[in-house]
Structure 1
Amino acid sequence: MLSYILRRLLLLIPVFLTVSIIIFGIIHLVPGDPVDNLVKIGSSPEQKAIIAARYGLDKPLYQQYFIWLGQLAQGDLGNAIVMRRPVADLLAQNIPFSLRLGGAALLFSTLLGIAAGTLAAIYKDTRIDRSVMAGILLGSTLPSFWLGLLLILLFSVELGWLPVSGARSWQAIILPVLTIGLGGTALVARVTRIAMLETMQKDFVMLLHAKGLPARRIQLRHVLRHAMMPVVTILGLRIGWILGGAVTVEFVFARPGLGTLLIKALNQHDYPVMQGCLLMLAMAVMLGTLLGDIVQAAMDPRVRHALT
């Protein structure tokens, strides 16, 4: 098992390098210049050139990339150009809010998705199955920012039950969790339903029925457990997707976090902060995938032997 984990970690190195190049390239293609946010209106080109040289923005892009990569190798994310603070400090200040929101949304979507998928599989081709699948289809097509605005309009403006924005109380996290979690519920439920229906066709399930075990016990204790393999993989991917989806949701609900920090950095064209935020989101996807593979390998030895 240890050798499998080491091989998976080594495979992440070229993925990380590729992602870092893509992030650096995309950010520098965004129109705008961070220097414009540091100089006064009417400043001369010479003054702008001095400030650009101070932050290394006058160098060719490939040199800027290798300088940034060298800093990353030393654990240094650089300093924010406009905010004038270490990027690591800004990330450390905002990441806990995103992790709290993402963790709650992941738990909510996992429990509700598995329950909905199990219910749809047990009552296959009935009204319950069709109703659940219709709700899944609706949940997977609604944009998160639009759903968030609808929830604010209903529960905050009309009913006055929950706060509109902020992160000062536990009630403030309910609407953002619902906004992010409902979209993820659709995917988890769909995968759970398909996996359970496929598992029900296995020979060992027919043998359990032949032994006279109750159908409900077979479905919940045996079929559901074996159907968790693809669900675990999806949940690993969902870790990164949820943090990425929190970008727009945090902005809609005016919550602190990586999303709010990233949008602020985009408005200011603060390259180091943008690179740091996007790198954290990309690493969340990679680590989530790695965690899903490790859990899947622990559950099924065939996965571990696939790379041996």
Structure 2
Amino acid sequence: MIGFTLRRLVLLLPVFFVVSLVVFFIIHLVPGDPIDNLMRAGSTPEQRLQIAAKYGLDRSLVEQYVTWMGRLLTGDLGTSIIQGRPVSALIARNLPYSLELGIAALLFSTLTGIAAGVIAASYQGTRVDDSITCFILLGSTVPSFWLGLLLILVFAVWLGWVPVSGARGWSSLILPTIAAGLGGIALVARVTRIAMIETSRQDFVTLLHAKGLPPFIIQLRHVLRHAMVPVVTILSLRIGWVLGGAVTIEYVFARPGLGSLLIRALNQRDYPLVQGCLLMLAMAVIIGALIGDIVQAAMDPRQREARA
């Protein structure tokens, strides 16, 4: 198991290099220039050149990338061009809000999705299964930002039960969690249902029924445990979503976080800040996949042997 984990960690190095390349060069393809946001009315071309030289924007993209990567390897994400503050400090200030929303949405979607999948598989072919399947289909198709606006209109504006926006206390977290977690509920429920139905058709389940074990014991103690391997795969991929999946939700509910920080930085063409945010989001997805591989290998040795 240790060797498997070390091999997976070594594979992260080329992945990190490729991700850094994509993150750096893709932001420079976006039209616009951060210098435009710093120039005052009546500024001369010489002043523009001075500002470009100050932030290293007068160099070639290759030189800028080498400089950025050199600083990145020492833990320096650079300085925000517009705000004039270290990118790491800005990310550290907004990261807790994104983690708060992401973890709440992940727990909500995981627990509710597994419960819905178990119920649907237990009542396969009945109205209960059909109702949950319809909900899964609805949750997979409804855009999260539209759902967020609808929740604000009903529960914040009309009923006044929760705050409209911001991050003031636990009550302001309810609507964003529901809006961000609905799609996850549908995904987890669908995978859980399919995995449990396939597992329930195996021979060992028939043997358990023949021994006279209660059906609910078989479903919860044996079938669900074996069906959790594909569910863990889905959840591991959604670990990265904890940081990046709620970007639109943060913007709709005017919450602080990496999503709101990234959108503001994009509007201002703040290259160092955009690069720092995108790199954080990309690495969250990569680390989530790594955790999923390790957990899968721990749960099922056959997975570890197949990927060795």
Identify whether the pair has TM-score above 0.5, normalized to the shorter chain: yes
| Distance apart, 1:11 and its partner CA | 1.1
Residue in structure 1 matched with residue 172 of structure 2 by the alignment: 172
Residue in structure 2 matched with residue 86 of structure 1 by the alignment: 86
Q: In the alignment, does 2:219 pair up with 1:224?
A: no
Contact 2:239 2:284 in 1 (8 A): yes
Q: What amino acid is aligned across from residue 157 of structure 1 in structure 2?
A: V
Q: How far does the alpha carbon of each residue in 1:74-124 deviate from its partner, in whole angstroms, 9 at most, with x for none?
A: 111000001000000000000011001100100000000000011110111
Q: What amino acid is aligned across from residue 24 of structure 1 in structure 2?
A: F
Q: What amino acid is aligned across from residue 189 of structure 1 in structure 2?
A: A
SS of the equivalent of 1:29 reads: coil
Residue in structure 2 matched with residue 45 of structure 1 by the alignment: 45
| Distance apart, 1:304 and its partner CA | 1.6
Contact 2:167 2:256 in 1 (8 A): yes
Q: Which runs of 4+ in 1 moved over 2 A?
A: none
Q: How far does the alpha carbon of each residue in 1:172-218 deviate from its partner, in whole angstroms, 9 at most, with x for none?
A: 00000001111110000000001001101111111111111111110
Residue in structure 2 matched with residue 215 of structure 1 by the alignment: 215
Residue in structure 1 matched with residue 133 of structure 2 by the alignment: 133
Distance across 2 between alignment mates of 1:187 and 1:11: 28
Distance across 1 between alignment mates of 2:283 and 2:39: 34
Q: When the two structures are superposed, what TM-score results if normalisation uses the length of structure 2?
A: 0.98
Distance across 1 between alignment mates of 2:105 and 2:261: 20
Residue in structure 1 matched with residue 262 of structure 2 by the alignment: 262
Residue in structure 1 matched with residue 73 of structure 2 by the alignment: 73
Distance across 1 between alignment mates of 2:242 and 2:129: 26
Contact 2:99 2:242 in 1 (8 A): no
Q: How far does the alpha carbon of each residue in 1:18-42 deviate from its partner, in whole angstroms, 9 at most, with x for none?
A: 1111111110011111111111023
Runs of 5+ unmatched residues, structure 2: none
Q: In the alignment, does 2:149 pair up with 1:149?
A: yes
Contact 1:19 1:282 in 2 (8 A): yes
Q: How far does the alpha carbon of each residue in 1:134-154 deviate from its partner, in whole angstroms, 9 at most, with x for none?
A: 001101111111110000001
| Distance apart, 1:245 and its partner CA | 2.0
Distance across 1 between alignment mates of 2:32 and 2:94: 25
Distance across 1 between alignment mates of 2:131 and 2:42: 62
| Distance apart, 1:277 and its partner CA | 0.5
Q: How far does the alpha carbon of each residue in 1:227-263 deviate from its partner, in whole angstroms, 9 at most, with x for none?
A: 0000011001011124222111111111110011101
Contact 2:229 2:296 in 1 (8 A): yes
Contact 2:120 2:128 in 1 (8 A): yes
Residue in structure 2 matched with residue 305 of structure 1 by the alignment: 305
Residue in structure 2 matched with residue 199 of structure 1 by the alignment: 199
Distance across 2 between alignment mates of 1:143 and 1:10: 37
Residue in structure 2 matched with residue 235 of structure 1 by the alignment: 235
Contact 2:101 2:177 in 1 (8 A): yes
| Distance apart, 1:62 and its partner CA | 1.2
Residue in structure 2 matched with residue 283 of structure 1 by the alignment: 283
Distance across 2 between alignment mates of 1:243 and 1:159: 30
Contact 2:102 2:241 in 1 (8 A): no
Distance across 2 between alignment mates of 1:271 and 1:224: 47
SS of the equivalent of 2:41 reads: coil
The alignment's C-alpha RMSD in Å is 0.9
Aligned length: 308
Greater shift in the superposed pair: 62-71 or 269-278: 62-71
Contact 2:98 2:242 in 1 (8 A): no
SS of the equivalent of 2:116 reads: helix
Q: What amino acid is aligned across from residue 115 of structure 2 in structure 1?
A: A
SS of the equivalent of 1:56 reads: coil
Distance across 2 between alignment mates of 1:243 and 1:77: 18
Q: What amino acid is aligned across from residue 251 of structure 1 in structure 2?
A: Y
Contact 1:180 1:242 in 2 (8 A): no
Residue in structure 1 matched with residue 119 of structure 2 by the alignment: 119
